[in-house]
Structure 1
Amino acid sequence: MELDTKTLWFIAGLILILLEFTAPGVVIVFFGVGAWIVAAGMWIGWIDSVPAQCGTFAISSLLLLFVLRRYVTSWFVGGSTNGGDVEEEFVGKKVRVVHAIGGGEDTGKVELKGAEWRARCDTSLEPGSHAIVTGRDGLLLIVKPNN
């Protein structure tokens, strides 16, 4: 079975769009749609030559990227807002200690929303005890005992 150029552009576009789900940034999808535009143009008969295919692909992909990216990002990333709301996801939440946390700089693990997070506390906390998240340092949660 031999594939024609139109079908190859379509398959390339499909692969690029699916790759968007594995890579962050909402960029690759526009190149996938650009490949589909080339495939559609070839099926209609508007695009014949290789330079026309490459030019259409480049121009349409970049135009879509720069014009639509800010609108389409929420479809792939979700309705997240600025980083200020990220703190609200953690601070004040009750967590369960999974692996002991030594006081000071020693870290342990806590469970929050079904996932384990590295955590630090000024005092020692034993597994099974509960704590409250007071802050975050990257992926490290800062907790205090739940009194």
Structure 2
Amino acid sequence: MHVSPVLIWFLLGIAFFVIELALPGFVLFFLGIGAWCSAAVLAVINVPLTAQLLIFLACSLLSLILLRARLKSVFMGKSSEEAESVNVDSAPTTGVVTDAIIPPADGRVKYGGSFWRAAADEPIAEGTVVLIVEKKDLIIKVRALSAGMEEAK
């Protein structure tokens, strides 16, 4: 039984696309494009296997270099650090504890017009003004604002 090389390259391209869905690194997609280019060339003219492999390699690399950056934002979406609702600035920022923080449990802090889960190294009572030290995901790390820092402001 003789299988057409056009069909083999076409099916190989589909296999690359399917594997890309399982392993989303967004590289196998371009190997699929290269395989389909090889199938298209073979559909028009008959070329030896080495030429088919060169066409596959050239089309895969060319499409990877020219299209990956554009298509990645289309298929994978854009991510941005600015998408967060409130960012912790490098300037000292304060908030007010609304639910006491008793480590290792988290409390809540009103900061930036929102309520945030907050962690601290030492217990902090409700109503205490705190300094925002760090923000990681949706939890902020705080420490109690000392009397010396309050007077400096």
Q: Normalised by the shorter chain, which TM-score bucket?
A: 0.5 to 0.7
Structure 2 gaps, min length 5: 88-101, 107-116, 124-133, 142-153
Structure 2 match to 1:57:
56
Give the match for residue 121 of structure 1: 119
The 5 Å alignment of 1:1-147 reads 2-45=2-45, 47-78=46-77, 80-82=78-80, 84-86=81-83, 88=84, 103-104=103-104, 121-122=119-120, 135-136=135-136, 141-142=138-139
Larger Rg, first or second structure (1 or 2) = 2
CA distance in 2, matches of 1:27, 1:76: 12
TM-score norm. by structure 1 comes to 0.59
Distance in 1 of aligned mates of 2:29 and 2:13: 8
What's the Cα RMSD here? Answer: 3.2
Normalising by structure 2, we get a TM-score of 0.57
* Runs of 4+ with >6 A deviation: none
Change (3 A) 1:43 1:142: same
Does the 8 Å contact 1:103/1:120 carry over to 2?
no
Sequence identity, in percent? 30
Gaps of 5+ in 1: 92-101, 108-118, 124-133
Q: How many residues align?
A: 108
- Summarize the Cα distance change of 1:9–1:43 in structure 2 as closer, same or farther, 3 Å threshold: same
